[in-house]
Structures are given as structure tokens and as C-alpha cells.
Amino acid sequence: MASNASESAVPAIAHPTPGDSFGVAANIVYHSQFSSRFSPFKFEVEQAFYATAASVKDALVQRWNETYKHFHEEDPKQVYYLSMEFLQGRALTNAIGNLGLSDAYAAALTKLGHDLENVREQEKDAALGNGGLGRLASCFLDSMATLDLPAWGYGLRYKYGLFKQIISSKGQEEYAEDWLEKSSPWEIVRHDVTYPVRFFGEVQVDSDGRRKWIGGEVMQALAYDIPIPGYNTKNTISLRIWEARVPAEDFDLYAFNAGKHEEAVQLQLKADQICSVLYPGDSTEDGKLLRLKQQYMLCSASLQDIFSRFKERRGAISWDEFPNKVAVQLNDTHPTLAIPELMRILMDDEGLGWDQAWNITSSTIAYTNHTVLPEALEKWSQVVMAKLLPRHMEIIAEIDKRFQVLVARTRPELESKLEALQVLDNSNPEKKLVRMAHLCVVSAHSVNGVAELHSEILKKELFSDFYSLWPEKFNNKTNGVTPRRWLRFCSPELSAIITKWLRTDKWVTNLDLLSGLREFAENKQLQEEWNAAKLANKVRFADYLLKVVGVEVNPQTLFDIQIKRIHEYKRQLLNILSVIYRYKTIKEMSPEERANTVPRTVMFGGKAFATYAQAKRIVKLVTDVGAVVNNDPNVSPHLKVVFIPNYNVTVAELAIPASELSQHISTAGMEASGTSNMKFALNGSLIIGTLDGANIEIREEIGEDNFFLFGARADDVPRLRKEREQGKFVPDPRFEEVKDFIRSKAFGDFDYEPLLEALEGDTGYGRGDYFLVGQDFPGYLDAQDKVDETYKNRAKWMKMSILSTAGSGKFSSDRTISQYANEIWQVGQCRVP
Ligand code: 26V
């Protein structure tokens, strides 16, 4: 390996579009010397990564510039996706893959004494999100770029993304993850794009009655752009993330020179706090205030940017044109403040009247709901809102007042329910609240759920009265995932087989073509190739587990995976209880009986919210069970239990292709959609699951014979909960046995009582098996027996696996985004020639 790239035979040449491997290598050498963040005399794998990324960035920036210029000239209607979360993961593989330069980069690095596989391992995940909602936003950006849509993402540049999870003997521990420690090679700081963002202050009324928000603290939002390349297109769009700072002129040099050092840097400290962490804990008032500041920073800066572009692109401004040029999609309620902010700008800054501003606002804004869990629906204190954003609070109150008038006038029969429907929740005079979801539903022209069942629940339950007022607003957009990251790049082996059998690689942008695999599902040759690719992925993942986690797993066992946020409703507890039952059963078997079982490796991964005690107990139980099972010489050849620490996008890219069975077992009606279910099915992993979220549509598409179904239906859940409360439920003896086994300290003396108590129906503790683990336990065990039986028949399993992939066409985010573009945004393609 060349320790110094300048000593290699390759000259340093700066060229954004080199094309061949020699040109690529020359460009990498150039960056290792002239734009590296490290000593130019070192060219170890880390330097190689940064130089490689810098060279890829050149190509992206060139395309990004062309795209921006093209959009500017064509002036199409643009869509802006506002999200507090983007879970981008790594970018290198995706970028060179989308540019069609994977081979050139691999060859170039070989010339320079490096290996692309090792180089890409150097990249840190950009984890500016928690889970499904953030990853969905990132898949959407990929599809928007690939579909040549004039679209932008807007987010925040948190210094610390989602915490790093370490598993110790105490269970989960959280540590700050500084993804910017050695800077991100992808972002472009835009010193020419800054906006003032105000907090606190007061509302001043002019002599002509016009209102103006003045005073308070003014910070600056600085833009960073992350280029997002489309696949097989020049179009490269932008994820613009904002950083809060204080302009130099606001630094109090006099105070500082007078020795008041801390006082002088106060404002800077406050600015730093805004973009310090994703989801600052909100158990304290300060924590809540900070989160609200973050939300407003995103909305204020993004809208100023949108206005500036709108104005820049035309001479005379006709405000009624605004909704014909701008669509804003709110990713959940987190960016709801865009609604009063848009009203404020139009009325106070641009001088429009209420009605005109309201028409523009509601025809511009659309809202996506991502959960029906009451504890996850945002409500802000009116007192805090009025203090931090006094003018916005006035506007929200006016929206609420007009909503009440509208209901009284048009739907008097709803008046008895009005209090529950209002935007302002004044039911507790001590704690008056703003219901952000209601503000969205009242204001936006479109409200969508993320899977068919979820959208039906929104119409029939959560927002039923709003639905009766405005049925035309409500629609469904079933989620999707990008086939580039989640099949083409994460499983090149399986992709090559698919391309070979379909005789085209067009499935990468037209995922419906996968249905062409159906006719070969029973073909022995394909089944063998399929099995070999899956096995290669299992071996790769086993290597990772050994190297990174230090556990040895046997790739010949059934790989059974549940990876997602740890939450009671997702029921990792149901999974581990059944594993315990399996352990007991195997332990009691004779050696001959054991030899007849299907050996399994059951893997869990996911982070528990730092303050969510029950979720953390579940993590602890999984690791404790693993310690016992894996060290039991009689059982461990047949069963292993692994907790994969620090689950993130990169781990998912390794685990999903290696999976044969995946678990999507939420209590019916509680998982809005799920998106990993789509990634697993796409990769030929069979699903064991409930009729919840997108599982229902996946099962429809891949065929019910290819899905291990169990569990209560969403319609039955309320009745079952009631019966549970009334003590009418008779638990399966195996359920009792498993709980007793944990109580017997078989897995150590950690206090699991709060977990076990919550599974009792009538103790008054918690919500009395609210998630119906006991109810669904026997059906789940039966479904698991079916899994084992089926796995013994390899031909059958392979056929089901191929049919899972073949039936996954619908779950491309390209399909989802086309539907948003056509049915909500009315935005068309704008392809760079
Ligand atoms: C957040 C919280 C925070 C407080 C504790 C309880 C709790 C429960 C749920 C949530 C989720 C908030 C929204 C969210 O992430 N929804 C996810 O969105 C995905 C993309 O649409 C979807 O696939 C998942 O089903 C949905 O949970």
C-alpha cells in the first residue's frame, strides 16, 4: 500500500467528472493532497475515505449546480419536504452506485493500494433521526431525485444525532454520537444563505392595526447542503440542514473586554444548544422549550428560504401564484409551526388580509400523520408558546376561533364535541395546550396516513369528526423504501441474480418488474442461486457479528431477526417470551429430539428511548436470556439469542439481506405502517406478523400462503382489552410457565417484576397487558411451529422467499412519491438534460 499517495504512479488531477478508473484515481490523489483534512503525507484507509468522498462530492456538486440552474430556468412548482429527522446512514456506496461509478472507484482504489470494501467502512452514519419516520424521509429524498422531481428536503444540523447504544451488564447505556467529529465530507456550507430567526419578544400594533413581532433574541440560521443524487439521472437535489448561530456583530465585545466573558457568550451558547441534540429530553420545562425552539428554527429558516426563491424567480409578485409554485409537506406534526409562520409572513411582512393568507397557507401545506398513539401526539403548552412565539400564538388562537365559528355555522350537531376538536385544549385551566395535530388537520389541504389500515383508522377513529367535515382532505399514501439502498446496493449478489433472471436491471427504477420472478419461483436452478446468495449474505453478517459484537453464530441456522425501535407496542417482549419457551422445550428434549429441531439464531436490535424504563428492561431481558441460552452446551447448537448493539442504517444494510425470517408483530392497529417489513420482504425474508400497518398490504401482494400470520385483528383489540380488564381472559398455561421461569431467576436476579406485572390483566399495574401479549401468545407459538415445519422443506422455503421479493414491487418509495407528487403536490418532473 502506498503510504503517501503522491508517491504512487498516479498524478494528482482535479477533475469533477473523470469517468474512468485512472481519472478517478488521479482525482482521489489530488484530494488526498489538496483538500484532505489530514496530513498529505499519510494515505491510510481513513485518509483514503475522505479523499474518495471528496472526489465523489466534486461530481455531485457539479450535478447539483446544473440541477439548481435548470430548476431556476424552468421555474416549475417545487415541493419542500420539512422534517425534523433524516436518517441518511452512509452515503458513499449509494453515491457512487447512483452515479454508475462503483466499478471505476473500486478499480481506482485498488490502483492506490486500497480496497473499496474497507474504505467505505470508514464512514460514520448520519443518524439525524430516530427510526422509521426519519428513514422514510431519506428514502423519499432518494426517490424524489431519481424521479427528477423539483424537490428539496429541509432539516436541522444536529451536532449529536441519535445516541450510541452500548450494552453493558446494566443493560442499555447511551453515549453522545458526534457524527461531525472529523467533519462530514458531504456537506457544503452556504455562507451566502443565512436568515434571522427570532425568539421571544413582543407583538407591536401599528396605527393602521398591522401587527408586527419585534424584539426578543435573534439568531441566525446558516444553511448546509447535502447533495442527494438520483439513480441513473443527472438530477441531484438538496437536503438543506440549518445550523443556529450568532452573527459576529451580535457578539458583545464590550462585555467580553470588560471581563464579563460568560455574559458575552450567552447568546452563542443558546444558539449552540438549539442544534446540539436530536430529541433533547422533554421531561423538564427547559427541555420542552428547547424542542419548540428547534421546531421553529426549522420552519422559520425554511420558509424564508422558500420565499426568497419564490421572489427571486419572478419579477412582479402575485401572491395567488404561491400555491402554484410551492408545495410544503409536513413530516408529522414536528414542523407544524410552518402554518402560523406562513400566515405571519403573508400578513405581517407582505400585508395580505387573513382570508387571502389563509387560502394560500392551506393550499400550500399538506400533513402526514405517522402514529395514532396518544402519547406521541404533540401538545404544546399555550403559556410556553405565547412566551417563545407570541405572534404565532395569536394566529393559532385566531385559527381556533374561526374553526369554532365554522363548526357552529355549518355543523351545529357537532357543537357538543367541539371542545375535543378545537385546536386549543382549554380543558385544564392550569395546563392549557395547543393540539398540533388538530392545527394541521384544520389548516392543511391534505391529511394522509402511511398505510391503508392506518389511514382508515385516521378517518374512522382519531380524526373521525374532522373527516365528516372535510372528507376530501383525507387520503392514504402507503409507505415505500428505496430499492437502490435496500436491495441493489445492500445485496449485490441477490441483485445480480434478479437481473439475470429478469434479463434486465430496469427493476431498480421500476420495481413492479420483480413480479417477473414469479414464473421462476419453483425453478431449481434459480432456487439454488437464490439460496447461495442468501447464504453469502448470512456469512457476511456472521463475520460482522463476530468482529464487532464478539458473538459466534452459525450461518447454517435459521436467521430470525427483529430490528426496530424498542417499544412495548412492537412487542419484542412477545418474541423473547417465545424464545424462552423454546429454550425450556429444547432443554427438556432428548438428544434425538433435539437433533430434529430447526436450529435458529434469534437476533434483536434497536434502541430504547433513554427515559423509557420498560423498553430498557426488555433490552436487558434479551441480553440476559442470550447469556444463559448461548452458554448452555445442550441448547446452544439449536438456539442462540443475540442482541445486536447500536442498531442503525448500516447495521440494517447488513442484517436485512442476511435474514430469512423477520418479525413484525405489533399489537394490531398500533404500527402505522412499518417500513423494515418492506425491506425484509424485498430481500426474500419471510415475515411472521400480525394484521397491522403495511403488513396487511404486503401479505396481499406476496400471497397469504407466503406469510406467517397470527394474532388479534385491529377491530377486536378494544373488546379484548376490555375483557382482559374484566378478568375474563384465561391465559395459556405456556404463557404462565414462561413468566414463572423468569420469576425463578433463571436469567439472573435483575428486577423484571415491572415487565411481568404489566402482563397481568387485573393487577391495576400499568394498563393491564394493554399490548395483548398474553392474548396473542398461543397463536404466535403456533405460527412459529409453522415456520419450523416449513423451513425443513428447503424447496418450499426458497419458493416463498422468491415470491416475497417478487411481490414487493408496490413497496418502492418511487411509487409512494409518484402518488404524493400526482395526488397531493401537483408537481411534475423537471429532468436536467
Ligand atoms: C413516538 C413516541 C415518542 C414518545 C413515546 C411514545 C412514542 C411512540 C411512537 C412514536 C412514533 C412517532 C412517529 C413515528 O416515528 N412513526 C413511524 O413512522 C413510520 C414512517 O411512516 C412508520 O412506518 C411507523 O409505523 C411509525 O411508527
The CATH number of residue 662's host domain is: 3.40.50.2000
Residue with cell 462503483: 102
DSSP string of 521-558?
Answer: TT-HHHHHHHHHHHHHHHHHHHHHIIIII-----TTSE
- Check whether residue 632 and residue 742 sit in a common domain: yes
Q: Rounded to whole angstroms, how far apart are CA atoms 556 and 98?
A: 34
Report pLDDT for 6.
59
Report pLDDT for 315.
76
> For residue 371, how far is its CA from the centre of ligand 1 (angstroms)?
5
Does the annotation mark 570 as catalytic?
yes
C-beta of residue 475 within 8 angstroms of C-beta of residue 455: yes
Identity at 479, one-letter amino acid code:
N
Report pLDDT for 766.
47
pLDDT tens for residues 400-433? 999 999 999 999 999 999 999 999 999 999 999 9
Ligand 1 pocket mutation pick from 85, 288, 370, 564 by most atoms within 8 angstroms of CB: 370
Which of 111, 334, 445, 570 is the catalytic position?
Answer: 570
Residue with cell 428560504: 305
Domain of residue 443 covers 79-90+132-161+171-476+820-825
- Identify whether 166 is part of a domain: no
Which of 114, 454, 473, 564 is the catalytic position?
Answer: 564
Report pLDDT for 39.
79
Closest Cα to atom 15, ligand 1: which residue? 133
* 7 pLDDT above the threshold of 90: no
- Identify whether 344 is part of a domain: yes
Cβ of 673 less than 6 Å from ligand 1: yes
- Identify whether 535 is part of a domain: yes
DSSP string of 427-458?
Answer: SSTTS-EEEHHHHHHHH-SEEEESSHHHHHHI
Range of lowest pLDDT (243-252, 640-649, 797-806): 243-252
pTM to 2 decimals?
0.97
Once rounded to an integer, what is the mean pLDDT over residues 381-410?
98
Report pLDDT for 11.
82
- Identify whether 833 is part of a domain: no
- Identify whether 831 is part of a domain: no
Closest Cα to atom 18, ligand 1: which residue? 133
- Residues 552-586: b if buried by 16+ CB within 10 A, e if exposed: ebebebbbbbbbbbbbbbbbbbbbbbbbbbbbbbb
Which of 90, 135, 370, 617 is the catalytic position?
Answer: 370
- Check whether residue 502 and residue 387 sit in a common domain: no
- Check whether residue 722 and residue 608 sit in a common domain: yes
- Check whether residue 705 and residue 751 sit in a common domain: yes
Report pLDDT for 37.
75
Structural domain total, the chain: 3
Tell me the pLDDT of the chain averaged across its residues.
Answer: 95
Residues 792, 793, 799, 804: what is their CA dihedral angle, to the nearest 10 degrees?
A: -30
Q: Rounded to whole angstroms, how far apart are CA atoms 213 and 205?
A: 9
Cβ of 136 less than 6 Å from ligand 1: yes
Range of lowest pLDDT (65-74, 313-322, 521-530, 600-609): 313-322
- Check whether residue 581 and residue 603 sit in a common domain: yes
> Could you tell me the sign of the dihedral formed by the alpha carbons of 538, 541, 545, 547, in that order?
positive
Tallying the residues shown for the chain, one arrives at 833
Closest Cα to atom 2, ligand 1: which residue? 376
- Identify whether 593 is part of a domain: yes
- Check whether residue 586 and residue 610 sit in a common domain: yes
- Check whether residue 367 and residue 393 sit in a common domain: yes
Which of 182, 402, 565, 587 is the catalytic position?
Answer: 565
Higher pLDDT, 566 or 20: 566
Closest Cα to atom 20, ligand 1: which residue? 133
Does the annotation mark 675 as catalytic?
yes
Coil vs helix vs strand at 80 = strand
Q: Rounded to whole angstroms, how far apart are CA atoms 803 and 807?
A: 6
- Check whether residue 148 and residue 97 sit in a common domain: no
Q: Which long-range contacts (CB under 8 A, 24 or more apart) does 425-434 make?
A: 425/379, 431/381, 432/381, 432/382, 432/383, 433/379, 433/380, 433/381, 433/382, 434/379, 434/380, 434/381, 434/382, 434/385, 434/393, 434/396
Quick one: cell of 102?
Answer: 462503483
* Phi and psi at residue 171, to the nearest 5°: 110, -145
Does the annotation mark 564 as catalytic?
yes
> For residue 136, how far is its CA from the centre of ligand 1 (angstroms)?
11
Please name which of 654, 629, 652, 653 lies closest in space to residue 642, comparing C-alpha atoms: 629
* 254 pLDDT above the threshold of 60: yes
- Check whether residue 116 and residue 139 sit in a common domain: no
Cβ of 371 less than 6 Å from ligand 1: yes
- Check whether residue 527 and residue 547 sit in a common domain: yes
Higher pLDDT, 261 or 297: 297
- Check whether residue 106 and residue 235 sit in a common domain: no
Report pLDDT for 317.
84
- Identify whether 503 is part of a domain: yes
- Identify whether 830 is part of a domain: no
Does the annotation mark 565 as catalytic?
yes
What percentage of the chain has pLDDT greater than the value 90?
90
Does the annotation mark 159 as catalytic?
no
Does the annotation mark 288 as catalytic?
no
* 393 pLDDT above the threshold of 80: yes
- Check whether residue 178 and residue 59 sit in a common domain: no
Once rounded to an integer, what is the mean pLDDT over residues 466-470?
98
- Residues 215-229: b if buried by 16+ CB within 10 A, e if exposed: eebebbbbbbbbbbb
Coil vs helix vs strand at 669 = coil
* 180 pLDDT above the threshold of 80: yes
Once rounded to an integer, what is the mean pLDDT over residues 74-99?
97
CA 131 to ligand 1: nearest atom: 15
Report pLDDT for 36.
66
